[in-house]
Amino acid sequence: MIAGLVAAALLGVLTWTLLEYVIHRWLGHHPALRRNPFGREHVRHHSEGDYFAPTSKKVVVVGAALVVMGAPAVAVAGSHGAAWALGLVGFYVAYEILHRREHTHAGIGAYGRWARRHHFHHHFVDPRTNHGVTSPLWDLVFRTYRRPGVIAVPERLCMAWLRDATTGDIRAEHRARYVLRAARA
């Protein structure tokens, strides 16, 4: 019973990683599909860098997901359906926290540093690639994964954790992986 619940929760986590990829790639970036509430918020996030949709909107998304996906899952699979829904919603919350921290804090540990570079390759090098924020799995499956090289961050979008407050340049510990890109005239 416990093993089945854990497996269902992990399947919910895996489901979220696929939804994360699909929502980001197509609803956030496909020109014909991005005229939706997520797409508008996402375009703003790319253009402003430190903009994130208000938490209140995200709470509505979690509530709607639990009703639209969780209720049928529970009706069909009982406690296993509930575990799946909790895995999905729980990892969505983890994604939101990770995504915000990538923009606001230097990464902690190997995974944090990897996730930040993977995501910033998407933001600053090629928005057609690296759509998975928490995992490269679906980028590998759909062949949109690119290994980040040195990432040129536009001056106006440079995150506070990346910039040396004294010199205005990239902090010494990040210079091997990031450079500032001057504003175009």
Confidence of residue 10 (pLDDT cuts 50, 70, 90): very high
Confidence of residue 74 (pLDDT cuts 50, 70, 90): very high
pLDDT in tens, 99-145: 999 999 988 899 999 999 999 999 999 999 999 999 999 999 999 99
What is residue 73's three-state secondary structure? helix
Distance of alpha carbon 43 from alpha carbon 27, whole angstroms: 10
Provide the percentage of residues in the chain whose pLDDT is more than 90.
83
E strand or H helix at 9, and its extent? helix 2-22
**Helix, strand, coil share (%) of the chain residues, nearest 5:** 65, 5, 30
Contacts of 158 (CB under 8 A, 6+ apart): 170, 180
Helix axes 71-104, 55-65, angle to 10 degrees: 150
Compute the Cα dihedral for 135, 137, 142, 143 and give only its sign: positive
Whether the Cβ atoms of residue 151 and residue 117 lie closer than 8 Å to each other:
yes
